[in-house]
Amino acid sequence: MNDVPSPPAAPHTVGRSPVEPLPGHGRGDSGGGIVLGASLILIALNLRAAAAGVGPLLREIVHALHLSAPSVSVFASLPTLLFGAAAPVAPLLARRIGTEWALLTALVLLTVGCAVRGFGAAPALFAGQITAMAGIGLLNVLLPGFVKREFPHRVGLMTGLYTTAFCLGAAGAAALAVPLAGWFGGSWRPALSGWALPAAVATMVWALQLRPGQGTSLRGAPHFAGVWRDAIAWQLLLFMGLQSALAYIVFSWLPAMLQDRGLSSVDAGFVLSLSAGAQGVACLAAPAVAIRGRDQRAVTVGSVGLSLLGLAGCFLFPLSGIWLWAVLLGLSQGALIALALTLIVLRSGSPQATASLSGMAQCGGYLLASAGPIVAGLLHEGLGGWYPVFLFCVALCAAAATAGYGASRDRLVGGRRHIGG
């Protein structure tokens, strides 16, 4: 895997994006990199599980709490909405207390939020979900810059490993949601709160590696607002948001849609789990493929096209082939999220630049994506079917292909200069 930095290009030329570690960093190149990498993968297993475990139980939650259709749509949008809202906070928190301690803070929020959402009535459900998703939102932004800093020559490998881990976590959560509820007498509450346990394990493992005063801050990093003036950064933001909107429409509504088409709640949960598991395979492969070419346009647009085909199979084609379409959808969507995160690293020239670009792309992208589940729910409720939702997904795919094509060109945000440099 060729992650070794290329020499600086002449001004105003277009060349491969360099990967430049900060002096004195790069623990991933030493013996301690195995422990550090394993810890990051354990954290990543929790990045989507808390969100993916909700969809298969959504009908039971709505029935138990008597939620209105608008409330359900808002609840379904909370992951992406909070991912976006937390994104600009992450670089500020890292500058204040150091990246390592910021990661710990985010893990604590995730653990507490998961525990709270299974207790009490609707306010506890919403409060817990908001807290947990805010924690994940911080982790989403902090991890790419941390990986670039500590694994400067293994960026593609580590990005692939941690995106694979969060896809596998999502797959496990989707598959276990309904069985867990059954084991607890049919109650969805412990099935939601139970995801606090793996989050707590990740929190303790990470905390044991920290010492008072440890942690490298991002002092000297460019201001968060600086990247908002760059066209490539905006294309990355749009690509991140549009592919995430598609992903969270699937997480939120695919089980309900399949149940309306005739599948049981258990089978619908397993279909979502299979799709999420297939994402893990693509997450591992996509970064390795992406960094080998001069740019990533072909693999990006091709992945969007396969995602559209997978969506068509799930929404429109006979249920006899649903397992095949679920795998295709998972492979393509896994490739898309892995590509989005890899492009953030490839389009930036330093760990500080990666942190700022990651904050921008994930802040604006996830806020944009939060509209996806809401619009899908309102279309289904207002027009009384799933075909309008599929047409909405077609429009999202077309827009994602356009933005992804632009973001995949071989050039850095800010030209050949670092952001703010």
Q: What percent of the chain has pLDDT over 90?
A: 34
Domains and CATH numbers, the chain: 27-407 (1.20.1250.20)
Higher pLDDT, 5 or 71: 71
pLDDT tens for 300-346 read 999 999 999 999 999 999 999 999 999 999 999 999 988 998 898 88
Distance CA 21, CA 18 (A): 10
pLDDT band at 28 (very low <50, low <70, confident <90, very high): low
* Contact assessment for residue 392 and residue 103, using Cβ atoms and an 8 Å cutoff: no
The 3 state secondary structure assigned to the chain is CCCCCCCCCCCCCCCCCCCCCCCCCCHHHCCCHHHHHHHHHHHHCCCCHHHHCCHHHHHHHHHHHCCCHHHHHHHHHHHHHHHHHHCCHHHHHHHHHCHHHHHHHHHHHHHHHHHHCCCCCHHHHHHHHHHHHHHHHHHHHHHHHHHHHHCCCCHHHHHHHHHHHHHHHHHHHHHHHHHHHHHCCCCHHHHHHCCHHHHHHHHHHHHHCCCCCCCCCCCCCCCHHHHHHCHHHHHHHHHHHHHHHHHHHHHHHHHHHHHHCCCCHHHHHHHHHHHHHHHHHHHHHHHHHHCCCCCCHHHHHHHHHHHHHHHHHHHHCCHHHHHHHHHHHHHHHHHHHHHHHHHHHHCCCCHHHHHHHHHHHHHHHHHHHCHHHHHHHHHHHHHCCCHHHHHHHHHHHHHHHHHHHHHCCCCCCCCCCCCCC
Q: What is the pLDDT of residues 357-378, one digit of tens each?
A: 878 888 899 889 889 988 998 8
Tens digits of residue pLDDT in 66-97:
888 788 888 888 888 888 888 888 888 988 88
Split at pLDDT 50, 70, 90, the class of 24 is very low
| Residue 161 predicted with pLDDT over 60 | yes
